[in-house]
Amino acid sequence: MSQKKKSGTSLLYQLIGEARGYDDAIIMGRGDPDFDTPPHIVAAAKEAMIHHHNDYSPPQGLLPLRQAIAERVKRVNNIDVDPESEVVVTNGGQEALFLMVLAVTSPGDEMIVPEPNYNTYADSLAFAGGVKVEVQTYAETDFRADPGVVRQLITDKTRSLLLVSPNNPAASVISPSDMREMLDIAIERDLMILADDIYDLFVYDDFQHVSPASLPGGKERALTLNALSKSYSMTGWRLGWIVGPADLMARVAELKAAISGGTSVISQYAGIAALTGPQDAVEMMAEAYRKRRRMVLDALDEMGMQYGMPQGGQFVFADIGFTGLDSAEVAQRMLTEQHVLAYPGSAFSKDRKDYLRMTFLQPEDQLLEGLERMKVVMDNIMAEKK
């Protein structure tokens, strides 16, 4: 298969594999925070290895962890859930996403999905035999998904509406009024809502995150996922969750049992420590991302790149259409010429060949170095164009 024909996950694999070959590579693509997991969480895991390594965990997770999750979603998201019946622990946000899609989708069902989006939604939907119906969003309107457009796309086959806020890769946050309108549409047209809140702690400036399940009429038709990966720098622990109404969550629990049976108890005890222990590290990391985001935006301005203002999340989705090149080609040149890995937009959507996704999950010195190197490539491209 030629390089240009690759897309989606396979394109990312190829670029990641190549980046590994460079000792001085700066990875500005993958959503893996540079911070290690806070020490008190690692200490709790070590304690669990000694005292709890043989513990039985039901597929939906240890009750103390589900209780901690219920407290967290009440405190942060204003969602009331019963830890006994309305929480399922998962192998990271990724398994939560897969389960959520499977829980509401039968072959032929349509799901309305704002684009661009994390490619695993399309992959999961394809596994379930569902059909993705795209709501296009654009940099010039900061990647806002227009509820009016959503309304127009609903057919008698539409079963669900995906709401990712903050969005990956576009970094847009659904405003409270838009969220209310999206929920009203879901109620009127009897759709299920899949809410991905994984970046809910990373919202910038005056933007506000709202969980649809927190709004009147929302909880009974919404499944909401989250994970500890991004907020606690715990990507390697594979710990996430879904919350939702008990009847649907019973289905989610059966799917979880069928797919993986359970979740490592060591990770679960680490998760309890994360959610119930000191939160200073989360605040420190959020502050660091705020500062780095500004650095990235300043550098992109200098390079002349357009972008939708990142209202939340850990990414910037920048328009490189002015180069006249496909983003896969630009990403390849950045990697080959300067050993910087940014993800091409075509990895997220076939219609986003003009975009690059960059994370700000690197230490500041590396981030600055990476941006400098990117500028060299962009200058070269523009010089060639002349």
Partner 1 sequence: MASNTKSAILAQHRANDDLNTPLLSQVARADSDLAADGMRSPLAERIIAAASAALEDGQTHYVDVPGIGPLRAAVADYLKVSSGANYRQGNIVITAGLQESRFLSIQMIGEQYDSIALPAVVHPGVRKALGVRSRNPRTMPVDPARGYLPSIDAIAETASDGCRLFYLESPSRLSGAAFTAGEVAAISQILADKDAALIWDQGLAPWVDGAYASPAALDSDCARVAAIGEAYSGMGLASWFVGYIAAPEAWVPALQSQKQIMAICTSTASQYAALEADQLYSEARTRQLSLLGGLRADLLSAASQAGLRVVKGGAVNLIALQLSADNMNRLRRVGIDFAAGRLFGAPDLVRLNVNHSTAAALAALS
The yes or no reply on residue 63 touching partner 1 (CB under 8 A) is: no
The yes or no reply on residue 127 touching partner 1 (CB under 8 A) is: yes
For 153, the token pair is: 């796309």
Number of residues that bind partner 1 (CB under 8 A): 67
Q: Smallest gap, in angstroms, from Cβ of residue 34 to partner 1? A: 9
Closest listed residue to residue 182, CA positions, set 203, 165, 206? 165
Measured from the CB atom, the residue of 140 and 280 that comes closer to partner 1 is 280
Secondary structure element (H or E) that encloses residue 380, with its range: helix 364-385
8 A C-beta contact, residue 284 and residue 51 = no
User: Which residue is listed with tokens 């000191």?
Assistant: 278
The yes or no reply on residue 255 touching partner 1 (CB under 8 A) is: yes
Among 55, 302, 372, 379, binds partner 1 (CB under 8 A): 55
What is the gyration radius of the CA atoms in the chain, in angstroms? 21
Residue ranges of E strands in the chain: 26-27, 87-90, 110-115, 131-136, 158-164, 192-196, 222-227, 240-243, 306-307, 315-319, 340-341, 343-344, 355-359
Task: Mark out the alpha helices in 105-175 (DSSP H runs).
Answer: 119-128, 147-153
Q: Is 364 helix (H, G, I), strand (E, B) or coil?
A: helix
Measured from the CB atom, the residue of 187 and 303 that comes closer to partner 1 is 187
Measured from the CB atom, the residue of 156 and 206 that comes closer to partner 1 is 156
Measured from the CB atom, the residue of 189 and 333 that comes closer to partner 1 is 189
Measured from the CB atom, the residue of 35 and 322 that comes closer to partner 1 is 35
For the chain, the first-to-last Cα distance in angstroms comes to: 32
- Give 258: exposed, middle or buried? Use CB within 10 Å, 0-12, 13-18, 19+: exposed
Among 94, 167, 226, 323, binds partner 1 (CB under 8 A): 94
Among 7, 14, 67, 120, binds partner 1 (CB under 8 A): 120
Residues facing residue 114 across a β-bridge: 135
Binding window for partner 1 (CB under 8 A); candidates: 183-191, 291-299, 341-349, 370-378: 183-191
CA separation for the pair 276, 96 (Å, rounded)? 21
The yes or no reply on residue 176 touching partner 1 (CB under 8 A) is: no
The yes or no reply on residue 259 touching partner 1 (CB under 8 A) is: yes
Measured from the CB atom, the residue of 212 and 308 that comes closer to partner 1 is 212
The yes or no reply on residue 42 touching partner 1 (CB under 8 A) is: yes
Binding site for partner 1 (CB under 8 A): 9-10, 30, 32-33, 36-37, 42, 45-46, 49-50, 52-59, 91-92, 94-95, 98, 102-104, 106, 120, 123-124, 127-129, 159, 187, 190-192, 217, 220-221, 233-238, 245, 247-248, 250-251, 254-255, 257-267
